């Protein structure tokens, strides 16, 4: 770099630093500014020889993270200082945690140490099967130290996502998948909704770029129309709000790209058919005493002008979400008969929705400690961390169970209010009260009536749990429980029971093998596990203990311990297994069809199609190397894609279609609409007129003049299926056509 370039860069760094001080949500004292300046100087010194992938000076990254912490999340000077220093110890040999403590005090050092530990996790070996999930659990354990560690880490991830264009494509997909899998749900749970939305959109941008930019462009095209519509909507209610002399603002808020995409997938609709692509937000100023009264007053004014959908009322003012979110959400029929979601919030509620943790603290009364605002959330989280032996991937999946779920509110027999996720059962309620009550559950009463443990609770239910000393969890309970806490506790209890039985089973197996002149050692145990198609030695010992595997079966195993058996095992685990015709009938395609190539070298490998998403030629896909079942091919938008790409990036293989004309693939089409005479005949004509489409079966159900139909067809590629679906949509009376 020339002297002029260095001078320009230094000026840009100084400007970024001044902007950081200017945008802070908190009022910074003189002492705060001195501490932040000292942290800035240390960060500049530590990172002076570093540059990012984009080529810019590394110091811009910690400044940007600190700016997110200061402005978007609204944390204090201590957090801003820690954000500036978050990479100093990890990336520089000049400073240690002890140096940070001497310069900035114990609190800042503790936060920086937590952030350094999290960063070091990502540099561990990629060969750990559940690396990312295990790292996530370790990261959550830092909540014991200081919740600001997690919040600054989320800010760090947000800036990394914002500046990822210069990275390799495979790195982009891995980091974006990890973001969707871990960081966006965590931001949601903490109440950082704006950051959660941006993380989701950026995650989609790199995991499914075509989808992201298609929706983005359509939103841009419709923006002018939406602005006109929002102005028209606002004018109608502004007059009435002004008459009441309310201090308010009305603005439109487009739905996030990720949420539009989710609706398109969940409801099987196109972009144009997503009915609430934007929301209108009314934010009013009020003193605390009149806050609730004014919210319902505005609700009354809005519904005086526009008819509400009674099933879409969400009252999070009377019963706030567990994140502290408060608002009234209503959906009304706006001008031109379009559905419009209206969000009603006070200024305080709006700040809490946008800043979460920091705004909670700002509005706390009586000088309570800052951490009190999310203490209850942290205590719930700690409960889910109680079992350190749980499988890490299972732990993450259980933890995520409740993150996005809608809430219901039920009452204890004493009238206390309990928050549970929608779909919760009496078992979930029992474990939410206390683990011991859950473990001893034998039945439940809801609103005074005895109900099964499978009963789904509704808001307003009064729940009474019946217990017994001799009651204990059984495997069926896992089908009844939905919350992470309940399922985790049940699994732990069942596992303990299983261990006790397995210990007895191991001794029984030792005696029985001795009679067959076989030693119980690692080799024989592995052979037995493979022979009985089990996963672990614990499964083997448990089945021996419960007599699921008996003497006869063990004698058959002993007889099979021959060279032929060992040859079979070796052949089965080889790279190119022979596949019987019955397996081919299950849509498992091998290399002889020469359809897909894998990796940069475009290798031709054996593979199978994953049953979870059933790809067909033309679908964007990737390969996933399983432990026991070879190479599986998944669609890029498979429900399991994000989890696989986040947790097992080293097992992902890029895949490319090279020829799909020589083989046919089954697909199922679902369609619905108004039942007309001769409709089935019209549909079959359309299908038969599409070349190379072979219809295997067709079925229709009609109810009240509306039909639902399913058609099984065989096609040679994705384009042919898309063309067929487009032609079916053109038939008069058909409302919706989608591929299942």
Q: 10 Å Cβ neighbour count for 256?
A: 19
E strand map for 7-59: none
Bridge partners for 419 per DSSP: 409
- DSSP secondary structure string for all residues of 219-265: HHHHHHHHHHHHHHHHHHHHHHHHHTT--EEEEEEEPPHHHHHHHHH
Secondary structure of residue 330 in the 3-state scheme: strand
Pairs from 614-618 (Cβ < 8 Å, separation ≥ 24): 614/587, 614/667, 616/665, 616/667, 616/715, 616/717, 616/718, 616/721, 617/657, 617/660, 617/663, 617/665, 617/716, 617/717, 617/718, 618/657, 618/660, 618/717, 618/718, 618/719, 618/721
Task: Please answer whether residues 624 and 173 qualify as being in contact, where contact means their C-beta atoms are separated by less than 8 angstroms.
Answer: no
The Cα 592–Cα 605 span in angstroms is 10
- Which tokens go with 649? 């990036």
Task: Please answer whether residues 593 and 663 qualify as being in contact, where contact means their C-beta atoms are separated by less than 8 angstroms.
Answer: yes
The Cα 485–Cα 379 span in angstroms is 12
Maximum CA extent, the chain: 95
Instruction: Identify the active-site residue in 56, 90, 214, 315.
Output: 90
Task: Please answer whether residues 427 and 477 qualify as being in contact, where contact means their C-beta atoms are separated by less than 8 angstroms.
Answer: yes
What is the torsional sign of CA 507, 508, 513, 516? positive
Pairs from 549-554 (Cβ < 8 Å, separation ≥ 24): 551/512, 554/512, 554/513, 554/516
Instruction: Identify the active-site residue in 91, 201, 341, 461.
Output: 91
- Length of the chain, in residues: 740
The Cα 300–Cα 344 span in angstroms is 11
Task: Please answer whether residues 178 and 207 qualify as being in contact, where contact means their C-beta atoms are separated by less than 8 angstroms.
Answer: no
Task: Please answer whether residues 175 and 145 qualify as being in contact, where contact means their C-beta atoms are separated by less than 8 angstroms.
Answer: no
At a CB cut-off of 8 Å and minimum separation 6, what does 304 contact?
240
Helix H, strand E, coil C: the string for 693-730 is CEEEEEEEEEECCEEEEEEEEEECCHHHHHHHHHHHHC
What b/e readout covers 194-214, taking b as 16+ CB neighbours within 10 angstroms?
Answer: bbbbbbbbbbbbbbbeebbee
Closest of 291, 311, 293 to residue 301, by C-alpha: 293
Secondary structure of residue 607 in the 3-state scheme: coil
- Which tokens go with 366? 């009586």
Closest of 73, 98, 78 to residue 88, by C-alpha: 98
**Annotated catalytic residue 90:** yes
At a CB cut-off of 8 Å and minimum separation 6, what does 729 contact?
737
The Cα 525–Cα 543 span in angstroms is 13
DSSP code, position 521:
S
Which residues belong to the active site? 90-91
């Amino acid at each position: 770099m020339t002297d002029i370039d260095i001078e320009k860069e230094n000026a840009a760094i100084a400007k970024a630093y001044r902007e950081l001080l200017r945008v802070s949500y908190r009022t910074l004292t003189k002492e705060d500014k001195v501490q932040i300046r000292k942290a800035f100087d240390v960060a500049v010194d530590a990172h002076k020889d570093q540059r990012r992938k984009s080529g810019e000076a590394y110091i811009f990254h910690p400044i940007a993270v600190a700016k997110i912490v200061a402005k978007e999340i609204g944390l204090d000077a201590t957090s801003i200082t820690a954000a500036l220093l978050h990479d100093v110890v990890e990336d520089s040999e000049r400073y240690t945690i002890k140096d940070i403590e001497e310069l900035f005090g114990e609190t800042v050092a503790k936060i920086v140490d937590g952030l350094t530990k999290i960063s070091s996790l990502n540099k561990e070996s990629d060969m750990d099967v559940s690396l990312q999930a295990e790292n996530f659990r370790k990261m959550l354990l830092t909540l014991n130290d200081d919740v600001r560690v997690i919040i600054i880490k989320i800010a760090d991830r947000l800036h990394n996502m914002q500046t990822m264009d210069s990275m390799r494509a495979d790195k982009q997909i891995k980091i974006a998948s990890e973001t969707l899998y871990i960081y966006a749900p965590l931001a949601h749970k903490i109440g950082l909704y704006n950051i959660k939305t941006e993380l989701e959109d950026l995650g989609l941008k790199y995991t499914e770029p075509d989808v992201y930019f298609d929706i983005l462009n359509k939103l841009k095209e419709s923006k002018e129309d939406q602005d006109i519509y929002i102005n028209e909507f606002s004018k109608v209610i502004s007059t009435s709000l002004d008459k009441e002399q309310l201090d308010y603002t009305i603005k439109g808020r487009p739905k996030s790209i990720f949420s539009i995409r989710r609706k398109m997938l969940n409801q099987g609709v196109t972009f144009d058919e997503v009915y609430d692509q934007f929301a209108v937000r009314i934010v009013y100023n009020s003193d605390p005493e009149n806050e609730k009264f004014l919210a319902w007053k505005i609700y009354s004014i809005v519904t005086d002008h526009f008819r509400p959908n009674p099933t879409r009322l969400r009252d999070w003012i009377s019963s706030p979400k567990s994140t502290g979110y408060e608002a009234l959400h209503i959906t009304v029929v706006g001008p031109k008969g379009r559905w419009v979601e209206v969000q009603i919030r006070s200024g305080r509620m709006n700040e809490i929705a946008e800043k979460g943790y920091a705004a909670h603290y700002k509005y706390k009364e009586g000088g309570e400690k800052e951490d009190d605002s999310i203490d209850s959330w942290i205590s719930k989280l700690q409960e889910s961390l109680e079992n350190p032996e749980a499988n890490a991937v299972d732990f993450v999946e259980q933890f995520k169970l409740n993150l996005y779920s809608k809430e219901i509110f039920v009452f204890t027999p004493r009238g206390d209010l309990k928050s549970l996720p929608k779909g919760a059962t009496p078992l979930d309620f029992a474990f939410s009260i206390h683990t011991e009550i859950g473990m001893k559950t034998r039945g439940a009463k809801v609103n005074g009536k005895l109900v099964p443990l499978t009963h789904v609770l509704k808001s307003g239910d009064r729940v009474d749990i019946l217990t017994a000393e001799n009651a204990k969890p059984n495997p069926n309970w896992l089908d009844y429980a939905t919350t992470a806490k309940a399922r985790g506790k049940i699994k732990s209890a069942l596992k303990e029971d299983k261990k006790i039985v397995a210990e007895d089973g191991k001794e029984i197996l030792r005696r029985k093998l001795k009679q067959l002149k076989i030693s119980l050692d690692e080799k024989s145990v592995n052979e037995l596990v493979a022979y009985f198609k089990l996963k672990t030695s614990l499964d083997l010992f448990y089945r021996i203990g419960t007599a699921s595997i008996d003497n006869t079966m063990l004698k058959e195993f002993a007889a099979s311990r021959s060279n032929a058996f060992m040859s079979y095992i070796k052949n089965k685990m080889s790279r190119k297994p022979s596949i019987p015709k019955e397996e081919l009938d299950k849509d498992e395609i091998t290399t002889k069809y020469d359809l897909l190539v894998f990796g940069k070298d475009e290798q031709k490998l054996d593979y199978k199609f994953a049953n979870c998403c059933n790809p067909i030629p033309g679908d964007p896909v990737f390969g996933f190397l399983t432990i026991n079942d070879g190479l599986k091919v998944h669609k890029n938008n498979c429900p399991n894609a994000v989890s696989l790409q986040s947790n097992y990036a080293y097992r992902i293989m890029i895949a490319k279609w090279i020829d799909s004309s020589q083989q046919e693939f089954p697909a199922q089409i679902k369609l619905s609409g108004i039942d007309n005479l001769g409709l089935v005949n019209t549909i079959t004509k359309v299908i038969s007129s599409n070349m190379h489409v072979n219809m295997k079966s067709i079925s229709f159900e009609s109810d009240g003049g509306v039909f639902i139909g399913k058609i099984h067809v065989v096609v040679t590629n994705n384009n042919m299926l898309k063309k067929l679906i487009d032609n079916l949509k053109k038939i008069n009376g058909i409302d919706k056509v989608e591929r299942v």
